[in-house]
Chain A
Amino acid sequence: MNKLVKDAKEGLAGVKDGMTLMLGGFGLCGIPENCISALVEEGVKDLTCISNNAGVDDFGIGLMLQKRQVKKMISSYVGENDEFERQMLSGELEVDLIPQGSLAERCRAGGAGIPAFFTPAGYGTEVAIGKEVRYFDGKPHILESALHADYALVKAWKGDRYGNIIFKGTARNFNPVMAMAGKITVVEVEEIVEPGELDPNFIHIPGVFVQRIFQGKGYEKRIEQRTTRPKA
């Protein structure tokens, strides 16, 4: 059992034009920086990207948008990116906006073998258009379907060659549910450790969900909104 690969390029072997990718992260926090760089370098295009956000102009998925590699974004919030806005308004880029909780649950459902579920989120709004409505306990809910991806690109803190991983801080966000939902899940970590080093009681995602793992390098971890308070 060895899922260890050399780097992002090897991790992404087999990614082709037109595929659907999931990318973990919230804003720029916990995004798979190495995988994004490799995708930009490889130049694959017409991608459908499922990611809560779309990066900023010069970082994260914004780098892929600059090279026009993304055909469609499935996200909950996509501000902070001029090139994104330009492509969206010109019709080059298709955008599917869905409520954040539904996005997370649709990924989780995809990984958990649940094809669809009912949620109250979005009932009575344009999100509900065309979706089946059912009442449970007198309250309306809409049917949302599971999301799947050819590749899920996940950023974790530490992991071993079995694919067991743990996350740090709020860099966890969408990464665990996406790790579950990829046909091929590629994890980049800040530190590869020996099997047994991670306490089994504290593993966030068991290796069963992971196909490839590698030690990432050169993490920039850019901060989107640096907010501080003065020392008293």
Chain B
Amino acid sequence: MLDRNQIAQRIAQELQDGWYVNLGIGIPTLVANYIPDGIHVEFQSENGLLGMGPFPFEGEEDADLINAGKQTVTMQKGGSIFDSSMSFAMIRGQHVQLTVLGAMEVSDSGDIANWKIPGKMVKGMGGAMDLVASADNIIVAMSHTNRKGQSKLLRQCSLPLTGVKCVKKVVTNMAVLDITPNGFQLLERAPGVSVQEIQAATEGRLIIEGDVPEMQF
């Protein structure tokens, strides 16, 4: 099974030179640590910056420079700052090539639920609904099962939806899967994880064709 960092590392392999990328909070944020050599991508933070850099050195934090997780960050050379409406114009207008976000549930038709658990305190959707409704290329980073061991890859989401038919790919601690018209297509297994184990942990329709290779790092 992969840990959080390895999930991020596997997703980073999807990055292509010249892409603008929006990373959600949690595992997605870690993707920035694994950009493949020779590739230049720009990170977009929905509170209004492009060209987001690493955390500042201690003592150099700037209260006026934060990311969407409200963490202090820095800017890369060539970065830019803009207001919230322009930020979502970028997102809605499909000028950002990849969105990576976490989820509580994903369905085999690409629906995603990641903002609300009925009966629990609702904090809000933030920018997630705008992102999933518009982005062309959405990768979900999450654990394959929840804390109770139940599958998070479902035939249908049980939680309130964030968006419908929008997720393209899911990378979990067990597998890489594409969303196809016929369900989750198993592309790769985590090292040491069998197809049977993935099948057992997947409630939604799972398509297995031929030998499924292990992920390469």
* CB of A121 closer than 8 Å to a CB of B: yes
| A104→B127 CA distance, assembly (Å) | 10
CB-based contact A26/B122 at 8 Å = no
CB-based contact B84/A174 at 8 Å = yes
CB-based contact B83/A29 at 8 Å = no
* CB of B95 closer than 8 Å to a CB of A: no
Q: Which B residues, 37 to 81, have Cβ-Cβ distances below 8 Å to chain A? A: 45-49, 54-73, 81
Closest to B65 in A: A169
Number of interface residues of B (CB under 8 A): 52
CB-based contact B161/A125 at 8 Å = yes
CB-based contact B84/A104 at 8 Å = yes
Closest to B52 in A: A170
CB-based contact A170/B133 at 8 Å = no
CB-based contact B127/A169 at 8 Å = no
| A105→B90 CA distance, assembly (Å) | 12
* CB of A76 closer than 8 Å to a CB of B: yes
Query: Which of A28, A99, A122, A174 has the largest number of chain B CB atoms within 10 A?
Result: A99
* CB of A225 closer than 8 Å to a CB of B: yes
Complex A-B, nearest 9 residue pairs according to Cβ-Cβ distance, in ascending order: A101-B88, A101-B130, A169-B64, A124-B164, A221-B63, A104-B84, A77-B124, A79-B123, A99-B129
Number of interface residues of A (CB under 8 A): 57
**Chain A residues near B (Cβ < 8 Å):** 26-30, 52, 75-79, 85, 88-89, 97-105, 107-108, 119-127, 167-177, 204, 221-231
CB-based contact B84/A173 at 8 Å = yes
Report chain A residues within 8 Å CB of B133. 119-123
| A22→B203 CA distance, assembly (Å) | 45
Closest to A127 in B: B129
| A26→B111 CA distance, assembly (Å) | 28
A–B Cβ pairs within 8 angstroms, 28 of them: A26-B47, A26-B66, A28-B70, A97-B122, A99-B125, A100-B84, A101-B87, A101-B92, A102-B129, A119-B130, A120-B133, A121-B129, A121-B134, A122-B133, A123-B163, A170-B45, A170-B65, A221-B63, A225-B70, A225-B71, A228-B58, A228-B59, A228-B72, A229-B54, A229-B58, A230-B57, A230-B58, A231-B58
Closest to B121 in A: A85
| A224→B73 CA distance, assembly (Å) | 12
Name A99's contact: one of B66, B68, B127 (CB within 8 Å): B127
| A175→B85 CA distance, assembly (Å) | 10
Q: Distance (Å) between the CB of B18 and the closest chain A CB?
A: 24
Report chain B residues within 8 Å CB of A97. 122, 124-125
Report chain B residues within 8 Å CB of A52. 84
Name A27's contact: one of B59, B70, B123, B160 (CB within 8 Å): B70
Question: A79-B124, A176-B85 known; 6 other A-B pairs, CB under 8 Å?
Answer: A104-B83, A126-B161, A169-B62, A170-B48, A172-B48, A224-B70
CB-based contact B55/A229 at 8 Å = yes
CB-based contact A228/B163 at 8 Å = no
CB-based contact A76/B81 at 8 Å = no
Per-residue interface assignment for chain B, residues 105 to 141, with 1 indicating a CB less than 8 Å from any chain A CB and 0 otherwise: 0000001000000000111111111100110000000
CB-based contact A120/B70 at 8 Å = no
CB-based contact A228/B61 at 8 Å = yes
CB-based contact A223/B63 at 8 Å = yes
CB-based contact B91/A101 at 8 Å = yes
Name A29's contact: one of B66, B123, B161 (CB within 8 Å): B66
